[in-house]
């Protein structure tokens, strides 16, 4: 947690205290709400993760191991920090602890309302793109995605993973936050119909790309790209993970002035759709940049659509205008030797300059 974020927490707490004193709003509702706010903003900052990593650090000391995570070689890390892959046998205590948090993620009128309603656009987008690869005999109307393996990058509470698995797909959700993984599992465990088709894994895309390259029919990174430090890395990992001929989906925010006004100022500070500090304009990616990155990784953009969120009806709709939110669907080239013009020329140039 850096200084700015810590300062932000303090400010928020002070603000809340002031609110409570001045307005004297009655009822648990308000307190519950403010508590959830604080909890959520802490989570947004990775407070819980830092607690978790501190926990593991202490464990290491207890085990007389003094190497910190940064000093370890990848092999050592793999040995020390190998976690059980999917914690299916969560103990009851864990479930009750995380079910409160999972209620937060899964409250359709709450903090993540916009993500829930985004399913109305993104699930059909993924479904229709994948279904078109099936023959009529293979098509099962109740489970159209039967037989497909989908990787959900940044699965969070599982808001997208669960619907995809309900359509028949086998879904691996990866999230770098262990807490999110547990939240998602605490929610999934109740749904007998799908809990055997979804696995949540606490890892990063880079790591999973090392072992599972070319295994997935589709890789989805929805509302993730605008949060990562290295967009290039995420895109190239995603493209590695998908099968030749498979699909890569991204939904994210454009890097335009209006996106800053709508996605940061309005959404976070005025309408309070998101917790302040959720988005950083610097990290936003323009569609043509994303398309270029995909191109470099042998993925051809098939479709680019704008998405518009109406805060009054609280529903999303497709639009031609990609200046705020957009979705992109790219297809990986069937064989890897079909090198793209861009990359070849770039590499040639590099070689020439070396020579």
Partner 1 sequence: MALRWSAVVARRKSLIKPVHKQFFGTSRPVKNGEFADIVISGGGMVGAAMACALANNALLRDKRIVLLEAGKDTGEFVVPDQFSNRTCALNPATVRLLSSFGSWQEIEGMRCFSALRMQVWESCADAMITFNNSDMSEPLAYIVENDVILAAIMQALKSKKDRVEIRYDTKATAFDLPGSGDSEEAKMPYVKLTLNDRSVLKTKLLIGADGTNSDVRKASGFHTINKDYDQSGVVATLMLGEGVSNTTAWQRFLPTGPIALLPISDTMSSLVWSTTKEQAKNLQALSAESFVDAVNDALWHDREKNAIAGRLLDGFKNVLNSVLPADGEGVRQLPPTVIDVVQNSRASFPLGLTHSSQYVRPRIALIGDAAHRIHPLAGQGVNLGFSDVACLNDMLTKAVSCGADPGALTHLLQYETERQRHNVPVMLTIDSLQRLYSTELTPVVIARSLGLHAVHSLPFLKKFIMERASV
- Is 53 within any annotated ligand binding site? no
227 is in an annotated binding site: yes
Give the interface size with partner 1 as a residue count (CB under 8 A): 75
| Residue partners of 310: CB distance under 8 A and separation at least 6 | 316, 317
Q: Which is nearer to partner 1, 186 or 328 (CB)?
A: 186
Q: Binding to partner 1 by residue 201, rule CB under 8 A? A: yes
Q: Which CB sits closer to partner 1, 86 or 300?
A: 86
Instruction: Report if residue 212 touches partner 1, rule: CB under 8 A.
Output: yes
DSSP string, 76-102: HHHHHT---SS--S--HHHHHHHHHHH
Q: Which residues pair with 331 in a beta bridge?
A: 247, 300
- Does 63 belong to an annotated binding site? no
Binding mask 106-135 for partner 1 (x = CB under 8 A): x-xx-----xxx-xx--xx--x--------
Per rule CB under 8 A, is residue 305 in the interface with partner 1? no
Q: What is the DSSP pairing of strand 242-253 with strand 216-222? A: parallel
Check residue 219 for interaction with partner 1 (CB under 8 A): no
The verdict on whether residue 196 carries a ligand-binding annotation is no
Specify whether the CB–CB gap between 36 and 111 falls below 8 A: yes
CB of 25 to partner 1, least distance (A): 21
Scan residues 229-268 and list those touching partner 1 (CB under 8 A): 229-230
Q: Identify the residue whose tokens are 């085990």.
A: 63
Residue 222 annotated as part of some ligand binding site:
yes
If you ran DSSP here, which 8-state letter would residue 284 be given?
A: -
Would you count residue 82 as binding partner 1 (CB under 8 A)? Answer: yes
Site for partner 1 contains 156 (CB under 8 A): yes
- Is 353 a residue that touches partner 1 (CB under 8 A)? no
226 is in an annotated binding site: yes
The region of 11-19, 140-148, 256-264, 340-348 touching partner 1 under the rule CB under 8 A is: 140-148
| CB-CB contact of 290 with 235 (8 Å) | yes
CA dihedral 22, 27, 32, 33 (to 10 degrees): -60
Identify the three-state secondary structure at position 25.
coil
What is the distance of C-alpha 40 from the center of its chain?
Answer: 16
Radius of gyration, CA atoms only, the chain: 21
Cα 290 vs. chain centroid, distance in angstroms? Answer: 16
Q: Which stretch binds partner 1 (CB under 8 A): 17-25, 27-35, 69-77, 347-355?
A: 69-77
Residues 7-66 that bind partner 1 (CB under 8 A): 43-46, 49, 52-53
List, in order, residues 6 or more apart from 346 with CB less than 8 Å away.
296
Q: Could you say whether residue 304 binds partner 1 (CB under 8 A)?
A: no
Binding-site annotation, residues for Mg(2+)? 223, 226-227
Binding-site annotation, residues? 122, 154, 175, 222-223, 226-227
């Amino acid at each position: 947690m850096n200084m700015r974020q810590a300062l932000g927490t303090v400010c928020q707490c002070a603000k809340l205290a002031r609110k409570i004193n001045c307005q004297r709003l009655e009822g648990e509702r308000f307190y519950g709400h403010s508590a959830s706010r604080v909890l959520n903003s802490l989570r947004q900052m990775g407070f819980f993760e830092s607690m978790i990593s501190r926990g593991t650090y202490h464990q290491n000391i207890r085990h007389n191991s003094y190497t910190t995570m940064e000093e370890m070689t990848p092999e050592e890390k793999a040995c020390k920090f190998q976690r059980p892959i999917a914690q299916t046998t969560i103990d009851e205590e864990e479930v009750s602890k995380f079910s409160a948090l999972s209620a937060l993620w899964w409250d359709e009128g709450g903090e993540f309302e916009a993500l829930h309603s985004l399913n109305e656009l993104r699930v059909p987008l993924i479904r229709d793109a994948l279904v078109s690869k099936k023959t009529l005999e293979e098509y099962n109307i109740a489970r159209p995605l039967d037989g497909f393996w989908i990787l959900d990058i940044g699965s969070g509470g599982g808001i997208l993973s669960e619907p995809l698995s309900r359509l028949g797909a086998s879904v691996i959700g990866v999230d770098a936050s262990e807490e999110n993984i547990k939240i998602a599992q605490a929610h999934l465990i109740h749904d007998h119909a799908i809990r055997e088709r979804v696995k949540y894994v606490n890892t990063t895309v880079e790591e999973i790309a090392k072992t599972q390259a070319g295994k997935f029919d589709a890789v989805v990174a929805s509302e993730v790209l605008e949060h990562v430090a290295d967009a290039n890395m995420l895109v190239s990992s995603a493209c590695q993970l998908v099968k030749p001929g498979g699909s890569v989906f991204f939904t994210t925010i454009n890097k335009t002035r209006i996106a800053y006004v709508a996605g940061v100022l309005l959404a976070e500070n005025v309408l309070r759709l998101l917790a302040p500090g959720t988005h950083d304009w610097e990290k936003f990616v323009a569609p043509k940049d994303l398309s270029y990155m995909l191109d470099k990784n042998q993925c051809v953009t098939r479709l680019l659509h704008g998405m518009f969120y109406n805060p009054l009806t609280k529903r999303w709709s497709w639009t031609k205008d990609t200046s705020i939110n957009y979705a992109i669907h790219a297809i990986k080239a069937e064989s890897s030797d079909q090198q793209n013009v861009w990359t070849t020329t770039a590499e040639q140039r590099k070689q020439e300059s070396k020579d």
